[in-house]
Amino acid sequence: MTDRPTKQGRGRAAKARDTVDWTLPVDPDALRTTLLDWYDRHRRTLPWRASPGEHSDPYAVWLSEIMLQQTTVAAVKGYFERFLKRWPTVGDLAAADRDDVLNAWAGLGYYARARNLHRCAAVVADDHDGHFPSAVPDLKALPGVGDYTSAAIAAIAFDTPATVVDGNVERVITRLFALETPLPDAKPDIRIRTGRIAPDTAARRPGDFAQAMMDLGATVCTPRAPKCLLCPWRDACRAHAMGEEERFPLKKPKKPKPSRQCTAFWVTSGDHVLLERRPAKGLLGGMPGLFSTPWIDTDTQDMADDWQSHLPLSGNTRTLPGTTRHTFTHFHLETRVIVVSVKVVTDIENGFWIPLHHVEEAGLPTVFKKMAVHAVSKGSGT
DNA sequence: GAATCGTGGAA
DNA sequence: TTTCCAAGATT
């Protein structure tokens, strides 16, 4: 495979393509064929994966791909099956109440995905007659669908040639070529190299190839202790030849996580508890939670003990022993819980009351679920 | 381009 | 206990 002749007015990608240094002992077509053979022999059964030869439902593909963003297969399985059973079509999901969708998503994390999921379903139902578009640019225009997901849906659901690059592909490609450029700077190069190996026609099975690349990364070319003896690309892999598989991909150093702390309020009245509906945007946006003081940075702020002014309702208060801890993507949170007993159920802004025995179905994100468990276990002494 | 945005499992 | 990381998107 040779580089194309130079043309005028090329973009950055085209320019980089000419400078790609292809130094593997085998050509792209051989790599693609070898990988597809491996996939046919090792294909995994997954809830969202069509059987060989069967047509996959674009709605199911889209739903699974959104859920799988930065999330493990094991964590997604149950959620995927519950969603598909409750909302069998994109029209059903579009017609669902937003809070019901958020409730069903609770615990899976990255809640902007759930908000975008519901918005996207509405767009597909309203603007696309209930059918997902098949072209990458049209898919990428949908809420929550970016570079990876648009390519994945096009390839897997419609067998359209598309360059699918996720974290698995990045790892496989950087090892195959022993790329010394750290992520994310290496992304454009990785995309170009992946595009060279990937199928360029529907007949060459773009969907299977994309899934094969990701399966290879997930089961063989793993971050730690890769199973190179089982790898179909073992003989071509430069990192393997160097004996330095685990050194790739290189990554830019990440910043340390700061710590924050807050005081949360477990407000009860009789057998009811008060929860907050959080603002629609930002951290845990749109989700239910406990009222609390602001989450203050531990390093820059003193242990501010001014929880009184943030008390949502006045009542008898009791500070529980101990704290709960939770780690988000970019900070740690330590929470002290104060039990507040109020005389009568009183409505307040952004607040809602639920029976205590329904807390488990309230759809609390994990950080709040920890606080609720703490309150119930430590606070039952009154 | 850097920050933001969850969670649970593995080492 | 801490760190890493998993089928990324958005701002």
- The full DSSP string for A307-319 is -GGG-SS-SEEEE
Cα angle for residues A107, A113, A116 (degrees, 5° grid): 135
The spacing between the Cα labelled CA in A326 and the C1' in B7, in angstroms, equals 10
Q: What is the pLDDT of residues A76-102, one digit of tens each?
A: 999 999 999 999 999 999 999 999 999
Catalytic residue among A54, A65, A81, A244: A65
Q: What are phi and psi for residue A2, nearest 5 degrees?
A: -110, 160
The SS3 assignment for A156 reads helix
DSSP line for A49-113: PPPTTPPPPHHHHHHHHHHTTT--HHHHHHHHHHHHHH--SHHHHHHS-HHHHHHHHTTS--THH
Chain A, 262-301: which CBs lie within 7 Å of strand C?
none
Backbone dihedral region for residue A97 (phi beyond 0: left; psi -120 to 50: alpha; all else: beta): beta
Question: What is the overall mean pLDDT for chain A?
Answer: 92
Torsion on CA atoms A222, A227, A230, A232, rounded to nearest 10:
50
Q: Does domain A259-377 have CATH number 3.40.50.2300?
A: no
Predicted pLDDT of residue A231: 97
Q: How confident is the model at residue A20 (pLDDT cuts 50, 70, 90)?
A: low
Q: Quick one: tokens of A142?
A: 């949908």
Distance CA A132, CA A138 (A): 9
Q: Is A65 a catalytic residue?
A: yes
- For CA atoms A120, A125, A131, A134, the dihedral sign is negative
* Range of weakest confidence among A4-13, A20-29, A30-39, A346-355: A4-13
Indicate yes or no: strand C within 7 A of the C-beta of A46: yes
Residue A208 host element (H or E) = helix A206-219
Q: What percent of chain A has pLDDT over 70?
A: 93
Q: Read off the pLDDT of residues A301-346 as tens digits, 9 standing for 90 and up.
A: 665 678 999 999 999 999 999 999 999 999 999 999 999 999 999 9
Q: What is the pLDDT of residue A53?
A: 85
- Other CB atoms within 10 A of residue A92 CB: 15
Are A234 and A240 in contact, with CB atoms under 8 Å apart? yes
**Superfamily for domain range A7-247:** Hypothetical protein; domain 2 (1.10.340.30)
Q: Please list, in sequence order, all residues whose beta carbon lies within 8 angstroms of the beta carbon of residue A315, skipping any fewer than 6 positions away.
A: A267, A269, A340, A341, A342, A343
The Cα A43–Cα A196 span in angstroms is 23
> Nucleotide C11: nearest residue by CA–C1'?
A282
Residue type present at position A52: P
Close Cβ partners of A70 (under 8 Å, ≥ 6 residues apart): A109, A110
Determine the nucleotide nearest to A214 by Cα–C1' distance.
Answer: C7
Minimum CA–C1' distance nucleotide for A145: C9
Residue A17: what pLDDT?
46
Q: Which bases along strand C come within 7 Å of a protein CB atom?
A: 3-10
Chain B bases having any atom below 7 Å from a protein CB: 1-9, 11
Q: Which phi and psi (to 5°) does residue A360 adopt?
A: -65, -25
* Mean pLDDT of the A48-70 span: 95
Nucleotide nearest to A370 (CA to C1'): B7
- pTM here is 0.94
Task: Indicate if the pLDDT at residue A159 is higher than 80.
Answer: yes
CA atom of A219 to C1′ atom of B7, Å: 21
Amino acid in position A285: G
- Is the Cβ–Cβ distance between A120 and A88 less than 8 Å? no
Any idea where the domains of chain A sit in the sequence? 7-247, 259-377
- Cβ of residue A109 lies below 7 Å from strand B: yes
Q: Is the CB of A215 under 7 A from strand C?
A: yes
